[in-house]
């Protein structure tokens, strides 16, 4: 599977990555090489194999329904790029 | 709205129902409504690096409770997946949800239509997921503010089959579902606060068409009335587009309550490649048969069963039974009144459904805010049952109780309203009436039966309404007979 | 002092030969003297270190010292440290000061260890050469023209050069073992779920596991003991007691059966490395270990499986870096879309972007089944290979860690696939979730090589014991790069 520059642009859009125009072609080439290597997966016979999401054969542990967090907004927002009145700011969202 | 001839609508609803847990689904943050922005957002909720989710036991229990209440299957193994899209109210860039393996699937809900018929609506699935935060647009020039207090609030998303055909059916389904989740105590049902929200999938087709038309999804319609309006608008719009030779785009739309219209949402345009995959930070959720059985055993009586029981056990009409089981609190109130008063269940039903609900309605209060407790109300009905007061006087006592003048007995005592059962007192009153109205007595005795009511009224008046009606009738007839 | 083992340092502290403050100051001095050339530390934290050292000295004086009280270490900059920048090798987090500690940071602090600073690494742990770090490459102390390996390049370089007695590290596809092999260290990646991932910045959640790089198996055992254990804050943490790793080191390994996967000894390994690994097998044979050839037939598919699973999870894990709540934010973005794209375009380096794009692609509509789902199935086949081997009476598996000695800077930097093949022997253990370690087996042309042991689930104690027994009869691990020997 090789990726065209157009596909690279689409994937970058989906992943919200701003690419410089001159990056697109090398990325297309490198991603194509990677996908070509990855294509070897299709050689495996997996008709009767169940997918493995996780190395542990465990089940989800459940947490008691308790409030354990206190308000530490000031600490958390000390590292925020832009806040006002306790809100995180982003460029206006148009609906 | 009148459906144009030859067309039908196909409607499926996705209901987001906030679970009334103490803490969030994956973190120990509180979920209280109305807190200062971002004061209930922990590093997990903020999607900070290295933070990991751990599942809330009560969220699972509430989801299973819901599933059992709609006769659904409970997945022995369900899996959390990540649903990816970029939006500022979604801190991790993905929402933790369930995709291929939801915890609840294949349920059903019977709804009652206006003509009294019952329609069965399929519930495809109900899955656990986390809520997103909120964007605040007011008060900023070029910015939006992001409040992540709501992010991570536990939700179940209840997805119906496309079994609904009209906006009215959709509303009936929604109301039934709302009543159910509130009954179960898994959701506070507060639609204004967003605890119970609905997205409507609507398409139209020519009757008899083999396939469904292209559907649109109208988001976050937060009242029953808006759901009806939004669906009706969509149906009309879609038919108009198609009849004008156009075609419907599969898209997400937003309902504007001010205009009653829906509009395509720009921000969701390229959000349809969600790249779901199993969340590697979470493991499969396992519900054993023992666990499910234990929850089943603790399920409260559901509205329909309660309504049927009220008809058979209390001899109520279906109408009264429906009214009295419309909420779990009201039904419990009624049952407490019956038990404590020892009065006729039918009498209790009349009093609770008519007088009490009428009074509460005037005060815009719910049963849980009633100024008269079930015990106090029962004490009033007890005095009717033991003939201390008659029904007419009881209405006055009730008014006084609503006004906070005291208990039934206190009011009866204070106002001297005890029913007169002393026959000599009643006879004295009757004799007095007879003595004062010789002409009417003569006419009555001459055959003018209609005058009987006049004598009852006069005699009652003479006892200030306190005469026992049965005794009064019997004695009056005796005396008039001469 | 910088050549002492952990046990020797602990004894020295206990016997008042030196204080933790003196020890810490000595290391800070070595860092100041040597790290300019190596670039192993991204952030040195002298104040925090000296405060911890003084506290440790008080504990020692009170006679309450544990085996690690007062002993310095370096923390890979992937572990969140409250109040200290945690950058994860990325411009994205250049200004990120975590408001919380990772569980392992808490645990090692509680054990009385002294954090000297935060260690350089490939950006978001994506790399095998430490060349992808925003903070510049780390030099290999054995040859500054060569890479130290990655992603835990800072961890290995600082320990190999004696700028910390031991360091934490993480391993998603070999990021502990490969750099350990290239710098003559002992590095262990425990069983998935053995060490908490809470507060460790995620690369690929189902593969990431924290461990250590050390100068001996014994040193590693001490710190692994303190790091391991159940953490209720991590759903994938295993609730199971930790074996006594240190006291398990004295046991005879006679009669153990070690499997040699034929696929690992096929073509691809440099001759010098092969000779060294074979010599290690001979040494272990002398100790009474039986060797048996085994087959892990699906191991050739490890690299393609990994390069679907890891980027897929990474693309998802890195979606949170959007410039809104923390981290790099592009200046002057006019729209939300622009804010996202430019913050992420500027904040992530090219290797990270490549992997995000690969991961986004393999998860996207129409490709999921062919790539992600198929990779998950092949992952099961790889896992089953190991299960079968261990069920068949194999106690441990041995193979090379790397195909060759450390390569030169720039050698693979324009060819991602060639770079990815560096992980060919190490990836399978992550896919299967089993513990694995690398330990030194001698120099080739003056450059270190290592070999790898892979254990059954939770067989850390057995693995460390074999490594320790081997290190009792060999002295490869005691060799120092000349420049840092004194």
**What residues of C are in contact with residue B49 (Cβ under 8 Å)?**
80, 86, 88, 93, 96, 98, 201-202, 320-321
Does B185 contact chain A (CB < 8 Å)? no
Name the minimum distance, in Å, from the CA of C359 to any CA of chain A.
9
CA–CA min distance B183, chain A (Å): 21
CB-CB neighbors (< 8 A) of C168 in chain B: none
Chains that touch C (3 or more CB pairs under 8 A): A, B
| Structure tokens that stand for A70 in this block | 């206190």
Does the active-site annotation cover C76? yes
Nearest-CA distance from B278 to chain C in Å?
A: 10
Mean pLDDT of chain B: 92
What are all long-range contacts of C138-141, with beta carbons under 8 Å and residues at least 24 apart? Answer: C138/C38, C138/C39, C138/C40, C139/C37, C139/C38, C139/C39, C140/C182, C140/C183, C140/C406, C141/C38, C141/C183, C141/C481, C141/C483, C141/C484
Q: How confident is the model at residue B450 (pLDDT cuts 50, 70, 90)?
A: confident
Contact B43 A93 (CB under 8 A): no
Residue C95: its pLDDT value, please?
96
Q: What are the angstrom distances between the C-alpha of B72 and each of B139, C103, C341?
A: 45, 40, 43
Distance of CA B183 to the CA centre of its chain: 8
**Which chain A residues are closer than 8 Å to B42 by Cβ?**
69, 72
> Do the chains contact at A90 and B143, CB–CB below 8 Å?
yes
pLDDT digit string (tens) for chain C, length 486 residues: 889 999 999 999 999 999 999 999 999 999 999 999 999 999 999 999 999 999 999 999 999 999 999 999 999 999 999 999 999 999 999 999 999 999 999 999 999 999 999 999 999 999 999 999 999 999 999 999 999 999 999 999 999 999 999 999 999 999 999 999 999 999 999 999 999 999 999 999 999 999 999 999 999 999 999 999 999 999 999 999 999 999 999 999 999 999 999 999 988 899 999 999 999 999 999 999 999 999 999 999 999 999 999 999 999 999 999 999 999 999 999 999 999 999 999 999 999 999 999 999 999 988 999 999 999 999 999 999 999 999 999 999 999 999 999 999 998 877 888 888 888 999 999 999 999 999 999 999 999 999 999 999 999 999 999 999 999 999 999 999 999 998
d(C-alpha C241, C-alpha C461), whole Å: 12
As a 3-state breakdown, chain A gives helix, strand, coil percent values, each rounded to 5, of 40, 10, 50
Inter-chain touch C325–B94, beta carbons under 8 Å: no
CB contact at 8 A, B39 and B149: yes
Cβ-in-10-Å burial (0-12, 13-18, 19+) of B112 comes to middle
Task: Inform me whether the C-beta atom of residue C141 falls under 8 Å from chain A C-beta atoms.
Answer: no
Chain C residues 320-339 within an 8 A CB cutoff of chain A: 322-327, 329, 333-339
Contact assignment for A19 to C345 by CB distance below 8 Å? yes
Q: Are strands C447-455 and C436-444 parallel, antiparallel or unpaired?
A: antiparallel
Least confident stretch, B315-329, B383-397, C165-179: B383-397
User: Which residue segments constitute the domains of chain A, with CATH numbers given?
Assistant: 5-41 (1.10.20)
Task: Find the mean pLDDT for residues B297-326.
Answer: 94
Contact B385, B371 (CB under 8 A): no
Residue whose entry in the numeric block shows the structure tokens 């979604």: B90
Selecting from A13, A65, A73 the residue whose C-beta is nearest the C-beta of B39 gives A73
Of A11, A33, A49, the CB nearest to C377: A49
pLDDT band, very low/low/confident/very high, at B478 (cuts 50, 70, 90):
confident
With an 8 Å Cβ cutoff, are C205 and B277 in contact?
A: no
Q: What is the 3-state secondary structure of B397-434?
A: HHHHHHCCCCCHHHHHHHHCCCCECCHHHHHHHHHHHH
Q: Are C361 and C310 in contact (CB under 8 A)?
A: no
Q: How many residues does this entry show for chain B?
A: 482
What is the structure's pLDDT at B268?
A: 53
Contacting residues for C184 by C-beta, under 8 A, at least 6 apart: C142, C160, C440, C443, C448, C450, C476, C477, C479, C481
Q: Residue C90 catalytic? A: no
Distance from CA of B50 to the nearest CA of C (A): 4
Q: What is the DSSP letter of C97?
A: B
Question: What is the average per-residue pLDDT within B170-175?
Answer: 96
C363 touches chain A (CB under 8 A): no
Strands (E), C282-417: 290-294, 396-400
Classify strands B154-160 and B7-18 as parallel, antiparallel or unpaired: antiparallel
DSSP SS3 for C88:
coil
* Cβ count near B356 (within 10 Å): 24
* Whole-number pLDDT of residue B270: 55
Beta-carbon separation of A14 and B273 below 8 A: yes
Decide: C479 and C471 in contact? Cβ < 8 Å: no
What distance in Å separates residue B201's CA from the closest CA in chain A? 19
**3-class DSSP state for residue C338?**
helix
- In the stretch 63-102 of chain B, residues with CB closer than 8 A to chain A read 79-80, 86, 88
Confidence of residue B393 (pLDDT cuts 50, 70, 90): confident
User: B143: distance to nearest CA of chain C, Å?
Assistant: 9
Token pair 């069963």 is found at B305
Domains located in chain B, CATH noted:
7-294 (no CATH), 301-415 (no CATH), 423-481 (1.10.10.410)
B43 inside 8 A of chain C by CB: yes
CA distance C88 to C318: 12
The SS3 of residue C421 is helix
What is the per-residue pLDDT for B266? Answer: 66
pLDDT band at B77 (very low <50, low <70, confident <90, very high): very high
**DSSP code per residue over C236-250:** T---SPPP-TTGGGG
Q: Helix, strand, coil proportions of chain B in percent (round to 5)? A: 40, 20, 40
Q: Are C182 and C448 in contact (CB under 8 A)?
A: yes
Q: Which residue among B135, B273, B280 places its CB closest to the CB of A93? A: B135
CA B120 → CA B68, B160, B173, C230, distances in Å? 16, 11, 10, 48
The strand pair at C186-189 and C436-444 is best described as antiparallel
DSSP secondary structure letter of residue B22: S
Taking the C-alpha atoms of residue B230 and residue B169, their distance in angstroms, rounded to an integer, is: 13
**Interface probe, candidates C205, C206, C324, chain B, greatest B C-beta count within 10 A:** C324
On chain C, the residues whose CB falls within 8 A of the CB of A79 are 95-97, 99, 326
The helix or strand, by DSSP H or E, that contains position C442, with its residue range, turns out to be strand C436-444
Q: Does C409 touch chain A (CB under 8 A)?
A: no
Residues of C within 8 A of A29 (CB-CB) are: none
Angstrom distance (rounded) from CA B50 to CA B102 = 26
Which residues lie across from B111 on neighbouring strands?
B119
- Burial status of residue B1 (CB atoms within 10 A of its CB: 0-12, 13-18, 19 or more): middle
Residue B48 to residue C326, Cβ atoms within 8 A: yes
What per-residue confidence (pLDDT) applies to B4? 86
Q: How many CB atoms lie within 10 A of CB B409?
A: 16
Phi then psi dihedrals of residue A76, to 5 deg: -70, -35
Q: Looking up tokens 């007890």, which residue turns up?
A: B382
Of B43, B54, A68, nearest to C100 (Cα)?
Answer: B43
Query: Shortest CB distance from A66 goes to which of B23, B86, B145?
Result: B23
Q: pLDDT of chain A along its 95 residues, tens only?
A: 789 999 999 999 999 999 999 999 999 999 999 999 999 999 999 999 999 988 988 999 999 999 999 999 999 999 999 999 999 999 998 76
CA dist B201 and B219 (Å) reads: 9
Nearest by CB to residue B144, choosing from A13, A68, A93, is A93
The answer to whether B379 and B341 have CB atoms below 8 angstroms apart is: yes
- Report the length, in residues, of chain C: 486
pLDDT digit string, tens, across residues B238-278: 999 999 999 999 999 999 989 999 999 865 555 579 999 99
Check C19, C76, C107, C299 and give the catalytic one.
C76
Model pLDDT, residue C175? 98
Contact call for residues C322 and B86 (beta carbons, < 8 A): yes
Domains of chain C: 6-253 (3.90.1300.10)
Whether residue B228 has pLDDT greater than 90: yes
B142 vs A contacts (CB less than 8 Å): 91-92
- Using an 8 Å Cβ cutoff, are A15 and B86 in contact? no
Give the per-residue pLDDT at B271: 57
Query: Is the CB of A54 less than 8 angstroms away from the CB of B147?
Result: no
C346 CB near a chain A CB, below 8 Å?
A: yes
Interface test with B, best of C94, C316, C371, C377 (most B CBs within 10 A): C316
> Residue C435: which of C465, C471, C405, C411 has the closest Cα?
C465
CB contact under 8 A, B284 and A60: yes
Residues of C with CB under 8 A from a CB of B: 79-80, 86, 88, 93, 96, 98-100, 102, 197-202, 204-206, 232-236, 312-313, 315-316, 318-322, 324-326, 336, 340, 360, 363-365, 368, 372
B142 touches chain A (CB under 8 A): yes
Q: Are C138 and C129 in contact (CB under 8 A)?
A: no
% of chain B residues with pLDDT over 90: 71
Locate the DSSP E strands across B180-290: 196-206, 216-221, 252-256, 261-264, 277-278, 285-286
Question: Quick check: is C252 catalytic?
Answer: no
Chain B residue with CA closest to A76: the answer is B43
- Give the burial string for B55-68 (b: 16+ CB within 10 Å, else e): bbebbbbbbbbbbb
Cα gap B11→B203, rounded to integer Å? 7
State the Rg of chain C over Cα.
Answer: 21
Whether B91 has its CB under 8 Å from any CB of chain C: the answer is yes
Say yes or no to pLDDT of B73 above 90: yes
Note whether ipTM > 0.95 here: yes
Identify whether the C-beta of residue B53 lies closer than 8 Å to the C-beta of residue B27: yes
Q: Compare all CA atoms of chain B with the CA of C124 and give the residue at the minimum distance.
A: B49
Interface A:B, Cβ pairs < 8 A: 127
Two structure tokens written together for C159: 């320990």
State the smallest CA–CA distance between residue A2 and chain C in angstroms: 12
Q: Cα separations (Å) of C161 from C151, C183, C185, C444? A: 17, 9, 11, 19
Report chain C residues whose CB lies below 8 A from the CB of B93: 316, 318-320, 322
């Amino acid at each position: 599977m090789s990726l065209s520059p157009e596909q690279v642009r689409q994937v970058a859009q989906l992943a919200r990555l701003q690419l410089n125009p001159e990056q697109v072609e090398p990325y297309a080439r490198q991603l194509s090489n990677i996908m070509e290597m990855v294509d070897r997966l299709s050689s495996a016979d997996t008709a009767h194999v169940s997918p493995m999401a996780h190395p542990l054969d465990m089940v989800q542990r459940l947490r008691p329904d308790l409030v354990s967090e206190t308000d530490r907004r000031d600490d958390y927002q000390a590292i925020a790029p832009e806040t006002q009145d306790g809100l995180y700011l982003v460029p206006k969202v148009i609906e | 709205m009148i459906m144009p001839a030859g067309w039908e609508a196909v409607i499926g609803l996705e209901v987001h129902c906030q679970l009334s847990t103490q803490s969030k689904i994956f973190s120990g943050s509180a979920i209280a409504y109305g807190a200062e922005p971002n004061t209930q957002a922990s590093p997990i909720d903020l999607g900070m690096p290295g933070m990991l989710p751990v599942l809330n036991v009560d969220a699972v229990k509430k989801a299973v409770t819901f599933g059992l209440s709609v006769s659904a299957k409970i997945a022995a193994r369900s899996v959390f997946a990540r649903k990816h899209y970029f939006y500022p109210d979604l801190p991790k860039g993905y929402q933790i949800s369930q995709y291929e393996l939801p915890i609840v699937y294949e349920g059903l809900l019977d709804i009652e239509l206006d003509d009294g018929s019952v329609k069965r609506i399929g519930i495809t699935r109900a899955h656990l997921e986390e809520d997103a935060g909120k964007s605040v647009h007011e008060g900023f020039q070029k910015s939006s503010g992001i409040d992540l207090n709501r992010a991570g609030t536990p939700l179940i998303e209840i997805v119906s089959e496309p079994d609904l055909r009209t906006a009215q059916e959709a509303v009936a389904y929604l109301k039934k579902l709302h009543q159910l989740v509130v009954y179960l105590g898994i959701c506070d049902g507060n639609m204004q606060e967003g605890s119970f929200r609905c997205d409507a999938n609507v398409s139209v087709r020519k009757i008899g068409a083999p396939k469904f038309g292209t559907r649109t999804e109208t988001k976050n319609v937060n009242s029953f009335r808006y759901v009806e309006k939004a669906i009706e608008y969509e149906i009309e719009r879609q038919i108009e587009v198609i009849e004008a030779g156009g075609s419907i785009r599969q898209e997400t739309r937003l309902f504007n309550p001010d205009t009653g219209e829906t509009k395509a949402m720009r921000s969701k345009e390229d959000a349809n490649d969600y790249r779901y995959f199993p969340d590697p930070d979470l493991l499969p959720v396992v519900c054993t048969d023992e666990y499910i059985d234990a929850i089943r055993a603790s399920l409260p009586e559901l509205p329909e069963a309660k309504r049927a029981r009220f008809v058979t056990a209390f001899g109520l009409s279906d109408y009264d039974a429906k009214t009295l089981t419309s909420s779990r609190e009201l039904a419990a109130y009624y049952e407490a009144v019956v038990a404590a008063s020892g009065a006729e269940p039918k009498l209790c039903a009349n009093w609770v459904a008519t007088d009490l609900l009428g009074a509460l309605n005037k005060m815009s209060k719910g049963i849980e805010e009633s100024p008269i407790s079930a015990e106090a109300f029962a004490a009033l009905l007890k005095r009717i049952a033991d003939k201390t007061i008659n029904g007419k006087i009881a209405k006055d006592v009730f008014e006084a109780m609503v006004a906070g003048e005291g208990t039934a007995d206190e009011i009866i005592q204070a106002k001297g309203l005890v029913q007169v059962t002393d026959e000599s007192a009643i006879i004295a009153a009757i004799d007095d009436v007879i003595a004062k109205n010789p002409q009417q007595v003569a006419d009555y005795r001459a055959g003018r039966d209609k005058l009987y009511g006049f004598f009852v009224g006069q005699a009652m008046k003479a006892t200030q309404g306190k005469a026992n009606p049965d005794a009064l009738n019997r004695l009056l007839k005796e005396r008039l007979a001469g | 002092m910088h050549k002492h083992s952990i046990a020797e340092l602990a004894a020295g502290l206990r016997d008042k030969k030196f204080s933790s403050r003196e020890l810490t100051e000595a290391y800070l001095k070595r860092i100041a003297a040597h790290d300019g050339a190596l670039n192993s530390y991204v952030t040195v934290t002298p104040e925090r270190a000296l405060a911890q050292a003084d506290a440790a000295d008080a504990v020692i004086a009170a006679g309450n010292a544990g085996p690690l009280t007062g002993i310095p270490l370096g923390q890979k900059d992937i572990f969140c440290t409250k109040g200290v920048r945690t950058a994860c090798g990325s411009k994205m987090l250049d200004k990120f000061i975590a408001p919380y500690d990772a569980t392992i940071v808490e645990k090692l602090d509680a054990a009385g260890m002294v954090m000297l600073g935060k260690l350089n690494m490939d950006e978001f742990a994506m790399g095998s050469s430490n060349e992808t770090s925003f903070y510049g490459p780390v030099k290999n102390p054995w040859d500054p023209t060569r890479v130290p390996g990655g992603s835990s390049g800072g961890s290995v370089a600082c320990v190999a050069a004696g700028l910390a007695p031991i360091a934490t590290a993480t391993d998603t596809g070999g990021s502990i073992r490969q750099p350990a092999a290239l710098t003559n260290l002992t590095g262990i990646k425990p069983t998935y779920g053995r060490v908490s991932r809470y507060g460790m910045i995620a690369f690929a959640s189902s593969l990431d596991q924290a461990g250590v790089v050390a100068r001996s198996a014994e040193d590693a055992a001490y710190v692994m003991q303190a790091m391991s254990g159940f953490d209720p804050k991590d759903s994938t943490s295993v609730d199971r007691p930790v074996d006594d790793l240190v006291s398990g080191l004295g046991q005879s390994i006679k009669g153990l059966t070690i499997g040699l996967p034929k696929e690992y000894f096929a073509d691809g390994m440099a001759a010098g490395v092969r000779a060294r690994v074979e010599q290690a097998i001979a040494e272990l044979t002398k100790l009474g270990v039986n060797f048996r050839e085994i087959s892990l037939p699906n191991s050739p598919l490890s690299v393609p499986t990994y390069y679907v699973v890891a980027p897929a999870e990474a693309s998802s894990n890195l979606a949170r870096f959007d410039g809104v709540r923390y981290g790099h934010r592009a200046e002057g973005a006019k729209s939300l879309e622009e804010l996202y794209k430019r913050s992420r375009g500027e904040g992530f380096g090219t290797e990270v972007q490549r992997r995000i794009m690969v991961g986004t692609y393999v998860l996207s509509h129409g490709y999921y089944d062919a790539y992600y789902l198929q990779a998950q199935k092949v992952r099961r086949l790889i896992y089953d290979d190991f299960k079968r081997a261990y069920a068949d009476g194999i106690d441990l598996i041995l193979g090379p860690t790397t195909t060759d000695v450390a390569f030169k800077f720039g050698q693979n930097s324009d060819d991602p696939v060639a770079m990815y093949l560096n992980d060919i022997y190490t990836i399978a253990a992550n896919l299967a979730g089993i513990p694995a370690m690398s330990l030194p087996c001698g120099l080739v042309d003056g450059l270190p090589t290592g070999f790898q042991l892979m254990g059954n689930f939770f067989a850390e104690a057995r693995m460390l014991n074999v490594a320790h027994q081997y290190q009792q009869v060999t002295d490869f691990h005691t060799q120092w790069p000349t420049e840092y020997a004194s």
